[in-house]
A and B are shown apart, each in its own frame.
Chain A
Amino acid sequence: MLNIENLHVNVGDKAILKGVNLQIKPGEVHTIMGPNGAGKSTLSHVLSGKAGYTVTQGKVTYMGKDLLGMEPELRAREGVFLAFQYPVEIPGVSNIYLMKAALNANRKHQGLDEVDAMDFLTLVKDKIKLLQMDEKFLYRAVNEGFSGGEKKRNEILQAAILEPKLCVLDETDSGLDIDALKIVAKGINSLRTEQRSFLMITHYQRMLDYVKPDFVHVLADGRIVKSGGPELALELEAKGYQWVGGKAA
Chain B
Amino acid sequence: MSSSAKEIKNLISQDYKQGFVTELEVETFPPGLDEEVIAKLSRIKNEPEFMLEYRLKAFRHWQTMKEPDWAQLNIEAIDYQSISYYSAPKKKGDGPQSLDEVDPELLETYKKLGIPLDEQERLAGVAVDAVFDSVSVATTFKGKLKDAGVIFCPISEALQEHPELVKKYLGTVVAETDNFFAALNAAVFTDGSFVYIPKGVRCPMELSTYFRINAANTGQFERTLIIADAGSHVSYLEGCTAPMRDENQLHAAVVELVIMDDAEIKYSTVQNWYPGDENGVGGIYNFVTKRAECRGHNAKVSWTQVETGSAITWKYPSCVLLGDDSTGEFYSVALTNNYQQADTGTKMIHIGKNTSSTIISKGISAGKAQNTYRGLVKVGKKAENARNYTQCDSLLVGDKCGAHTFPYIEVKQPSAQVEHEATTSKISEDQLFFCQQRGLSAEDAVSMIVNGFCKEVFKELPMEFAVEAQALLGISLEGSVG
Chain A positions near chain B (C-beta within 8 angstroms): 48-52, 71-73, 75-77, 81-82, 84, 87-88, 90-94, 97-99, 101-102, 105-106, 109, 141, 158, 162
Contacts and interface: CB of A to CB of B under 8 A. Distances in A.
B437 to A, nearest CB: 5
Contacts of B440: 73, 101-102, 105
B118 interface: no
A91 B430 CA distance: 13
A51 B448 contact: no
Contacts of A141: 452
Nearest to B438: A102
12 contacts: A71-B436, A72-B437, A73-B440, A76-B437, A76-B438, A84-B434, A88-B428, A88-B430, A90-B435, A90-B452, A93-B448, A94-B452
A48 B434 CA distance: 10
B439 A76 contact: yes
Contact of A50 (B433, B444, B449): B433
Interface in B281-319: none
B453 interface: yes
Contact of A71 (B7, B430, B431, B448): B7
B430 A51 contact: no
B437 A105 contact: no
A77 B3 contact: no
Given A92-B453, A102-B438, A105-B441, 17 more contacts: A48-B437, A50-B433, A52-B2, A72-B433, A72-B437, A76-B439, A81-B437, A84-B437, A87-B434, A90-B431, A90-B434, A90-B452, A91-B453, A92-B449, A97-B452, A101-B440, A141-B452
Contacts of A52: 2
Contacts of A99: 438
A49 B436 contact: yes
Nearest to A78: B439
Contacts of B112: none
A94 B448 CA distance: 10
A82 B437 contact: yes
Contacts of B453: 91-92
A225 to B, nearest CB: 29
A157 to B, nearest CB: 12
Contacts of A87: 434
B3 A51 contact: yes
Contacts of A75: 437
Contacts of B431: 88, 90
Contact of B439 (A50, A90, A109): A109
Contacts of B82: none
A91 B452 contact: yes
A76 B434 contact: no
Contacts of A93: 448-449, 452
A235 B444 CA distance: 47
Contacts, number: 80
B439 A162 contact: yes
Nearest to A93: B452
Interface of B: 2-5, 7, 425, 428-431, 433-442, 444, 448-449, 451-455
Nearest to B7: A71
Contact of A51 (B433, B435, B454): B433
A87 B437 CA distance: 11
Contacts of B434: 84, 87-88, 90
B449 A73 contact: no
Given A88-B431, A88-B434, A98 B439 contact: no
A225 B412 CA distance: 74
Given A87-B434, A162-B439, A98 B448 contact: yes
A75 B436 CA distance: 9
A92 B457 CA distance: 12
B331 to A, nearest CB: 15
Shortest 6 CB-CB contacts between residues of A and residues of B: A92-B452, A51-B2, A93-B452, A102-B438, A105-B439, A76-B439
Nearest to A83: B437
Nearest to B6: A51
Contact of A98 (B435, B441, B455): B435
A101 B4 contact: no
Contacts of B442: 73
Contacts of A71: 7, 436
Contacts of A162: 438-439
Nearest to A109: B439
A90 B428 CA distance: 10
- Most chain B C-beta atoms within 10 Å of own C-beta, residue among A50, A87, A92, A101: A92
Contacts of A49: 436-437
A91 to B, nearest CB: 6
A82 B425 CA distance: 25
Contacts of B436: 49, 71-73, 76
Nearest to B442: A73
A90 B449 contact: yes
A51 B442 CA distance: 13
- Most chain B C-beta atoms within 10 Å of own C-beta, residue among A72, A99, A109: A72
Nearest to B453: A92
B441 A73 contact: yes
A87 B441 CA distance: 18
A76 B442 CA distance: 13
Contact of B425 (A81, A84, A91): A91
A18 B379 CA distance: 68
B452 A158 contact: no
A82 B439 CA distance: 11
Contacts of B425: 91
- Most chain A C-beta atoms within 10 Å of own C-beta, residue among B5, B425, B433, B438: B438
B444 A105 contact: yes
B4 A51 contact: yes
B323 to A, nearest CB: 35
A141 to B, nearest CB: 7
A71 B441 CA distance: 9
A73 B438 CA distance: 7
- Most chain A C-beta atoms within 10 Å of own C-beta, residue among B5, B425, B434, B437: B437
Contact of A77 (B428, B439, B449): B439
Given A51-B3, A71-B7, A92 B455 contact: yes
B429 A51 contact: yes
- Most chain B C-beta atoms within 10 Å of own C-beta, residue among A73, A98, A141: A73
